[in-house]
A and B are shown apart, each in its own frame.
Chain A
Amino acid sequence: MKRYFRELSVLGALAAVLVGMAIFAPAFFSPQPLLSLLTREAPTLVVACGMACVIITRQIDISVGSMFSVCSVCAGLLAARGWPLLLVLPASVALGALLGAVNGLLVAGLRLPSIVVTLATMVTLRQGLNLVRQGEFVNLPDRIQWFGLSQMAGQLVLVGASVVFLVALALAMRHVAAGRFVYAVGTDAEAARLAGIRPQLVTFLVFIFIGALTGLAAMMNLAQSPQVQPLSGAGLELKVIAAVVVGGVAISGGRGNLWGAFTGLLLLACVSPALIHLHIEAYWEKAIQGAIILLAVVADGLRARGLNR
């Protein structure tokens, strides 16, 4: 119990918000809007899982938003050319992995700070995309949206897939050696090296991993609309980092888990519908997001001080 205090407290906060909504805005719980909300968050959840791994290794990747846009547009163009879904999906994942590998190479190979590296790749990718596409939308063939299923079925597939993925990865992080290597490197890279783990390799692979997941998430987003917006990934990085940090993954590495990240994401996802239902203007969303991030870090900071005393 004590070990998961941090995750449980986020769960408590989420429960409080949900109870509050049940009392003041029961309309929130009608099935269709709720399913839509979950569907919208499904791609974010996939990226958040990757971000949790990156932050557990004591790195950060703020280029996910741009990678997401690039993968979306490229996948959309392939689909528009008539590629079958079964080929577009791996292509998008592979492109994401490739972009992630560039970050990984710079961070792990040259030992540059990940924040600056991914800031640079974020802008390079975003502007590169703008340059090539000039903000043009990509129209998708019909069979792509909801994978050619009904909307309801498509939504269920997406939500189901993301939850299955979450559970699989969360279990893998706990029960497969590779997952524990990620924790070991984030806790103490030097001790990991002494234990025979190669920290730079783990870091490199984690960046490839988040890239691939971003490619996957782009596909999951693609299936939700008839068009691809070139700016679809803008701000994704912040949302995802906020979810992960709020969920108790320590920015100093080695601590936290995917269940926490998931709870954090749900909590943040409730902010904007809660604002609407509680008649607070939606312009506050970003400010509230920032405040929640700060609150979470401050809580962690205070807690760390308490532990060291």
Chain B
Amino acid sequence: MSVSPGTKNPRDWKALLTRHEMLLLYVLIAEWLFFYFAGTTTNRRGVVVGFGTLDRQFDILRHSCEIGLLALALTPVIITAGIDLSIGSLLGLCAILFGKLWHDGGLTIPVAAGLTLALGALAGGINASLITALRLPPLIVTLGTYSLFRGLAEAITHGAITYTDFPASFLFVGQERWLGLPTQAWVFLGVALGVGLLVHRTTFGRAFRTIGFSPEGARYAGLPVARRLALVYVLAGLIAAIAAIIYTARLGQAKADAGTGYELFAITAVVLGGTSIFGGTGSVHGTLLGVAAIAVLKNGLACLPVVMRMNAAEEMSGLLTGALLLLALTASVLPKILSRFRTRHHAPAL
């Protein structure tokens, strides 16, 4: 999916973007090949285990769905030059609400799921209304709801209750395969397609970009800036709720600490995928590549014998993801800084 067809000028910003994504693709391939060779072994019975197995590949896909969904939710937000730190907490809250609605509320799974999606959108609406109606900075608003949503989840469960014993028909979504792929991957791909079309092929996406580059310019062009911004945050809440349901189905339990720290992985995936934290530029396919790069890293590390001996896959992947985000950020401003130096260098002395 390209941003727009018919790009001829090689110095075009779109071409540059494509170049960034191509670069990421090469990195991803190299990364995958590295883990394929370093992380695949044959055990004593002569069975191939580790990274190179098909099962493991499906596992990677399965495990990347929730963070992937959150990254998809964040892509339009960051394109409008905003941020949403609350989506990880919202995932936890929605998981709890879903569990409670089903377990204590006596609702059927589909009804509970539907209500959870509505509540997720509503929670996104809280962010949206504070950001647009009161013109508060998204950073501090979502920092507040980051604490609020997680706190509500803990309060509802008294920090201890987890909801389990979900029916097999529901766990199918999170633990089985359908048409050859892990079931939740279909949901993930569906949302990816939806967000991709929204961002790249509709007037909504065009408005997001315009707002990201220049909110004042968008206002002077008669675009409904507040409504578009609100949409972005409500959508993020909705997608976080979808991720919550999938998370619950994968683990078979809903607990208050679900999704803790996921916001960082999601932001990393988005920034890694070439979406500028300053707004305007960015793409959904870039985000998907970013998600893949992080997921392969995380799972690949777990397959490396060294890491397995240390029993430190979680920490290693967290450390590398943080470092990767710093690198990606630095790389994203490097051209600007280099050009600043260059112009300074070439400026004639007075």
* A contacts, CB < 8 Å to B: 60, 106, 110-113, 115-117, 119-128, 130-131, 134, 238, 241-242, 245, 251-252, 281, 283-291, 293-294, 297-298, 300-302, 305
Please tell me if B30 contacts chain A, counting CB pairs below 8 Å: no
Please tell me if B318 contacts chain A, counting CB pairs below 8 Å: yes
Residues on B with C-beta less than 8 A from A300 are: 136
Asked if A297 contacts B329 (CB within 8 A), the reply is no
Main secondary structure on chain A at its contact with chain B?
A: helix
Residues on A with C-beta less than 8 A from B130 are: 294, 297-298, 301
Among the listed A120, A130, A294, which residue makes an inter-chain contact with B141, where contact means beta carbons less than 8 Å apart?
A294
Main secondary structure on chain B at its contact with chain A?
A: helix
Residues on B with C-beta less than 8 A from A125 are: 322
Interface size on B, residues (CB 8 A): 49
What would be 15 A-B contacts, judged by CB atoms less than 8 Å apart? A106-B326, A112-B330, A117-B326, A119-B264, A120-B322, A120-B323, A123-B318, A128-B315, A128-B319, A281-B158, A291-B148, A294-B148, A298-B130, A298-B136, A301-B136
Asked if A294 contacts B137 (CB within 8 A), the reply is no
Asked if B134 contacts A131 (CB within 8 A), the reply is no
Asked if A134 contacts B134 (CB within 8 A), the reply is no
- Indicate whether A121 sits within 8 Å of B330 (C-beta atoms), given known contacts A287-B148, A294-B130: no
Query: Could you tell me the distance in whole angstroms from the C-beta of B80 to the nearest C-beta in chain A?
Result: 14
Please tell me if B333 contacts chain A, counting CB pairs below 8 Å: yes
Residues on B with C-beta less than 8 A from A241 are: 143
Q: Using an 8 Å CB-CB cutoff, how does the interface string of B288-315 with A read, 1 for contact, 0 for none? A: 0000000000000000000000111011
Asked if B140 contacts A297 (CB within 8 A), the reply is yes
Complex alpha-carbon distance, A120 and B151, angstroms: 23
- Indicate whether A301 sits within 8 Å of B135 (C-beta atoms), given known contacts A112-B333, A290-B149, A294-B144: yes
Query: Could you tell me the distance in whole angstroms from the C-beta of B274 to the nearest C-beta in chain A?
Result: 15
Asked if A126 contacts B330 (CB within 8 A), the reply is no
Q: Using an 8 Å CB-CB cutoff, how does the interface string of B132-168 with A read, 1 for contact, 0 for none? A: 0011110111011111111110110111000000000
Asked if A238 contacts B151 (CB within 8 A), the reply is no
Tell me the nearest residue of chain A to B152, going by C-beta.
A287
Please tell me if B94 contacts chain A, counting CB pairs below 8 Å: no
Complex alpha-carbon distance, A73 and B155, angstroms: 31
Complex alpha-carbon distance, A125 and B134, angstroms: 35
Residues on A with C-beta less than 8 A from B317 are: 127
4 tightest A-B CB contacts, nearest first? A287-B151, A290-B148, A286-B151, A290-B147
Asked if B315 contacts A287 (CB within 8 A), the reply is no
Please tell me if B267 contacts chain A, counting CB pairs below 8 Å: yes
Asked if A251 contacts B137 (CB within 8 A), the reply is yes
Query: Could you tell me the distance in whole angstroms from the C-beta of B141 to the nearest C-beta in chain A?
Result: 6
Q: A281-B158, A294-B144 are in contact. List 7 more A-B contacts (CB 8 A).
A: A113-B278, A117-B329, A123-B322, A126-B318, A130-B312, A131-B315, A286-B150
Most chain B C-beta atoms within 10 Å of own C-beta, residue among A106, A131, A238, A285: A131
Please tell me if B226 contacts chain A, counting CB pairs below 8 Å: no
Asked if A290 contacts B318 (CB within 8 A), the reply is no
Residues on B with C-beta less than 8 A from A127 are: 314-319, 322
Please tell me if B321 contacts chain A, counting CB pairs below 8 Å: yes
Residues on A with C-beta less than 8 A from B83 are: 115-116
Residues on B with C-beta less than 8 A from A242 are: 147
Complex alpha-carbon distance, A130 and B155, angstroms: 28
Residues on B with C-beta less than 8 A from A283 are: 151, 154-155, 157-159
Asked if B151 contacts A116 (CB within 8 A), the reply is no
